[in-house]
A and B are shown apart, each in its own frame.
Chain A
């Protein structure tokens, strides 16, 4: 894939090439859309290497120049085969079983337990805070109410204190009139 090209490897090679043709043909259009236009120079092996993901993932139509290059270049065919093999092996990994080492689940469960305990304590504290807050508010409200009540009573005629003033036993105005 570093630029070398090997053509004419025999009929067997052509059969193998034909097995590659389908994905290349599907994708070569998008490969072509990246770098090549009709009449442009043939792509190099490096150009094809950069386009390998597109070749694998498929495109809309074939760019004959790319197909021709890969079909005629055993280095690119080999590169494509290796690339595909890597992707295939990666796909196979999903089916590979991985046993969690001992202690993973236990660690998760104990951390959950700790988190739940913290949550419970926090809820408890939050509840207490709410209770304290409510109590303070209630006390404040009661005090305010008492003060308001006292003031209201002090303004009512005949109420506490008003009778003394009305009776004229004290007060500078009354004293002045008598004089």
Chain B
């Protein structure tokens, strides 16, 4: 086990982006009770699993818990894994389930706080001064988008992350979150609008549309 911990693996890989032969071999060995093989799988998939968890729950502390929970569930349920989908896909679903459960528990334990965020309907930080140069930067946009994502109500964040970041179809999102497709679509739209409000708050319209000829969008 300690030898495996020293194995150097790519720092980041998408959940579905590993060599399938390597993963399949490890899964087969792990299913036979080889714990080293499972730990190797953890090392291989944990960056992507953590990234997904972080995007779904919005903070590092909860993401750690979700990742831990996801791998425990995977470990316990490995014998039931039939291999219809790849291990990465299976782990992705488990992580989403764990994140959903975690967020439910968090919501129950801090209901008032959640209500404050959800009911405010306004994620715009009106006090923040924004430097136009920073606003124009795409990298900064992404950074602020990540911040805005973290501030979204949990139900909205999960849908928008699964749809727009991980490109899952509405049907799959609805299935994984236990909601209707219509609900998934409504939440997606609400999430995007909130992100849009946050991202473009206090920004001059001309800066929003940098690709358009200057002065042609007189909002």
A residues whose Cβ falls under 8 Å from a Cβ of B: 4, 6, 9-10, 12-13, 16, 50, 52-53, 74-75, 77-78, 81-83, 85-87, 89-94, 96-101, 103-109, 111-113, 115-116
Q: Cβ of B64 and Cβ of A104 under 8 Å apart?
A: yes
Q: Taking A16-B212, A16-B216, A107-B68 as contacts, is the C-beta distance between A98 and B192 under 8 angstroms?
A: no
Q: Determine if B46 is an interface residue (Cβ-Cβ < 8 Å).
A: yes
Stretch touching chain A among B20-28, B109-117, B118-126, B164-172: B164-172
Q: Which of A6, A16, A93, A108 is in CB contact (< 8 Å) with B46?
A: A108
Q: Which of B50, B142, B205 is in CB contact (< 8 Å) with A92?
A: B142
Q: Could you list 6 A-B pairs, sorted by A, with CB under 8 Å?
A: A81-B212, A87-B192, A97-B51, A104-B67, A105-B43, A112-B35
CB distance from B122 to the nearest CB of A (A): 15
* Cα-based distance from A75 to B208 in the complex (angstroms): 12
Q: Taking A93-B142, A112-B42 as contacts, is the C-beta distance between A86 and B216 under 8 angstroms?
A: no
Residue of A nearest to B43 (CB): A105
CB distance from A23 to the nearest CB of B (A): 15
Q: Determine if B31 is an interface residue (Cβ-Cβ < 8 Å).
A: no
The A-B contact count (CB < 8 A) is: 136
Q: Cβ of A115 and Cβ of B196 under 8 Å apart?
A: no
Given A52-B192, A82-B196, 8 extra CB contacts under 8 A:
A6-B218, A6-B219, A81-B209, A94-B166, A98-B50, A98-B51, A107-B64, A108-B42
Q: Taking A53-B185, A104-B46, A112-B72 as contacts, is the C-beta distance between A89 and B142 under 8 angstroms?
A: yes
Q: Cβ of B11 and Cβ of A93 under 8 Å apart?
A: no
B residues whose Cβ falls under 8 Å from a Cβ of A: 1, 5, 11-12, 14, 35, 38-39, 42-43, 46-47, 50-51, 54-55, 60, 64, 67-68, 71-72, 75-76, 138, 141-142, 145-146, 160-161, 164-167, 185, 188-189, 192-193, 195-196, 199-200, 205, 208-209, 211-213, 216-219
Q: Which of A10, A94, A115 is in CB contact (< 8 Å) with B165?
A: A94
Q: Cβ of A99 and Cβ of B212 under 8 Å apart?
A: no
Kindly list the 5 A-B residue pairs having the minimum CB-CB distance in the complex, ordered from nearest: A90-B164, A98-B51, A100-B50, A97-B12, A12-B213
* Cα-based distance from A52 to B185 in the complex (angstroms): 12
Q: Which of B39, B211, B216 is in CB contact (< 8 Å) with A10?
A: B216
* Cα-based distance from A90 to B193 in the complex (angstroms): 13
Q: Cβ of B39 and Cβ of A112 under 8 Å apart?
A: yes
* Cα-based distance from A106 to B38 in the complex (angstroms): 14
* Cα-based distance from A107 to B48 in the complex (angstroms): 16
Q: Cβ of B208 and Cβ of A115 under 8 Å apart?
A: no
Q: Which of A75, A78, A109 is in CB contact (< 8 Å) with B39?
A: A109
Q: Which residues of A contact B161 (CB under 8 A)?
A: 90
* Cα-based distance from A6 to B71 in the complex (angstroms): 55
CB distance from A131 to the nearest CB of B (A): 22
Q: Taking A86-B196, A115-B75, A115-B76 as contacts, is the C-beta distance between A108 and B164 under 8 angstroms?
A: no
Q: Which residues of B contact A10 (CB under 8 A)?
A: 216
Q: Taking A90-B145, A100-B50, A108-B46 as contacts, is the C-beta distance between A78 and B217 under 8 angstroms?
A: yes
CB distance from A177 to the nearest CB of B (A): 78
Q: Cβ of B55 and Cβ of A93 under 8 Å apart?
A: yes
Q: Taking A86-B195, A86-B196, A107-B64 as contacts, is the C-beta distance between A53 and B12 under 8 angstroms?
A: no
